[in-house]
Amino acid sequence: MSAREKAIFIVRRLRQEGYEAFLAGGCVRDMLLQKPPQDYDIATNAKPEDIQRVFAETIPVGAQFGVVLVLVDGEPFEVASFRHDGPYLDGRRPSHVRYGSLEEDIFRRDFTINGMVYDPIGDRVIDLVEGQKDLQRGVIRAIGNPRDRFDEDRLRMIRAVRFAASLGFEIEASTFDAIRRLAPTVTQISWERIGDELTRILTEGGARRGFELLDESGLLKVLLPEIEAMKGTQQSPDFHPEGDVFAHTMLLLSHLHAPSETLAYGCLLHDVAKPVCIRQDAERITFYGHTDKGAEMAEQILKRLKRGRAVWERVSYLVHNHLRHTQAPKMRLSTLKRFLREEGIGELLELARIDALSSNGDLHYYDYCKQRLAELEEEEIRPAPLVRGGDLIAMGIPPGPIFTDILRQVEDAQLGGELNNREEALQWIQRNYGHRGRGNE
């Protein structure tokens, strides 16, 4: 069964037991937009204990809020009881919930486009909030009083931006006004949730539009003041005819198409240190040290957003090295090969391409690196070692830090085409380090 068929099976099974049950939320929105839903949620008047009784495999992930995961052939589906929420005292969770009606459940949801339910048995959409009209108009509108919805969960302010960006919609005026007014309070929720939403804005489509909306709403200066600081930081018009660092960064975001999280953050943060590194005199503008400082700042920002170690380490690498490809034509062959075999080289060159397209359009250095990558065979970039530490010991060279230096020099000569086999390598070591053998101690 497909995911849709499994979700309908859950609805049908609950109906057979005498309960109301509907597909709800984002999957209904996506179906009406003729987009494949990412997941299927079910809303029902069955209580958690009823759901667990009806289905053999369940996980009560949020039973206190009426939410149970139902597993169908190992695939989880969120089944939530109709509920009415009590006051939200922490800007995230209701202080208590009570089971309610379908109408109460719909009116507690965030936006009209997410407030519809679908009856797959009768093939009808139940829309009490004019969600279908807003889909047709391309509008993100809070259900009821926008301030109440955002007081209930501050994350909804960022979600409004994400939906508007990814769907290409506008945020309705009163909804946007409420976001502007409440933007300073957004950090009352956890940074992990904030980081997850910002990542989705960057990777799910419309990243530039998303960050422009974050800026216009006042959310950007609260969440990422380092990005807002880019505004007004001028650059040399010879290299950056597009304008200041903020305009340049927004152009990079416009070139993102289903990027990885690390590439997306690399584009966002590659010039994050320019506002603190700028130096300007009568002749030119410089940003000396901005790659080093930027790597540090990127790591700090991503830790604040609770991204994983692998993410901030890779993004730090991208920021630190995002201009390194410009030195490639001048590199020694061994250095070039080492550069082109680095683990993050694919994303680094993609960042370089997008960076160039978002400035003066010069792809010369990018094209050079791609051409050299195409020309060089894998075994040329990553050849098997000609010698190892055991060979050095056999030559009587005492173990120690010198081993690393010797093996590195041998590999450099190998990569540069100066040493081609084991015998040549051993002779080279004997000539240069034979005096360190035991017989010469």
Mean pLDDT, rounded, for 227-232: 96
Per-residue b or e along 329-367, where b marks 16 or more CB atoms closer than 10 Å to that residue's CB: eebeebebbbbbeeebbebbbbbbbbbbbbbeeeeebbe
Q: Which of 386, 356, 385 is nearest to 369 (CA)?
A: 356
Q: How does residue 46 score in pLDDT terms, banded at 50, 70 and 90?
A: very high
CA 186 to CA 184: how far, in whole Å?
6
User: For 289, what's the count of Cα atoms within 13 Å in the CB-facing half-sphere?
Assistant: 8
Average pLDDT, rounded, for the chain = 93
Q: How does residue 61 score in pLDDT terms, banded at 50, 70 and 90?
A: confident
pLDDT of residue 63: 65
pLDDT of residue 355: 96
pLDDT at 65 over 50: yes
pLDDT at 92 over 70: no
- Residue 22: partners with Cβ closer than 8 Å, 6 or more residues away: 11, 42, 43, 44, 102, 117, 118, 119, 126
Angle between helices 345-357 and 364-375 (to 10 degrees): 150
Q: How does residue 439 score in pLDDT terms, banded at 50, 70 and 90?
A: very low
pLDDT at 64 over 60: yes
Q: ∠ CA 57-59-65 to the nearest 5 degrees?
A: 135
**Residues pairing with 24 in the sheet:** 41, 117
Mean pLDDT, rounded, for 47-75: 91
Q: ∠ CA 23-25-28 to the nearest 5 degrees?
A: 60
% of the chain exceeding 90 in pLDDT = 85
pLDDT of residue 440: 46
Mean pLDDT, rounded, for 229-242: 84
What would the pLDDT profile of 116-157 be if each residue is shown by its tens digit? 999 999 999 999 999 999 999 999 999 999 999 999 999 999
pLDDT of residue 234: 85
Model confidence, pTM:
0.91
The answer to which of 280-289, 314-323, 388-397 has the lowest mean pLDDT is 280-289
What would the pLDDT profile of 27-45 be if each residue is shown by its tens digit? 999 999 999 999 999 999 9
Q: Which of 362, 350, 274 is nearest to 314 (CA)?
A: 350
What would the pLDDT profile of 248-277 be if each residue is shown by its tens digit? 999 999 999 999 999 999 999 999 999 999
Mean pLDDT, rounded, for 408-428: 95
pLDDT of residue 286: 85
pLDDT at 434 over 90: no
- Residue 328: partners with Cβ closer than 8 Å, 6 or more residues away: 336, 339, 365, 368, 369, 372
Report CA dihedral (183, 186, 187, 193) to the nearest 10 degrees: -140
pLDDT of residue 236: 81
pLDDT of residue 107: 94
What would the pLDDT profile of 320-372 be if each residue is shown by its tens digit? 999 999 999 999 999 999 999 999 999 999 999 999 999 989 999 999 999 99
pLDDT at 103 over 80: yes
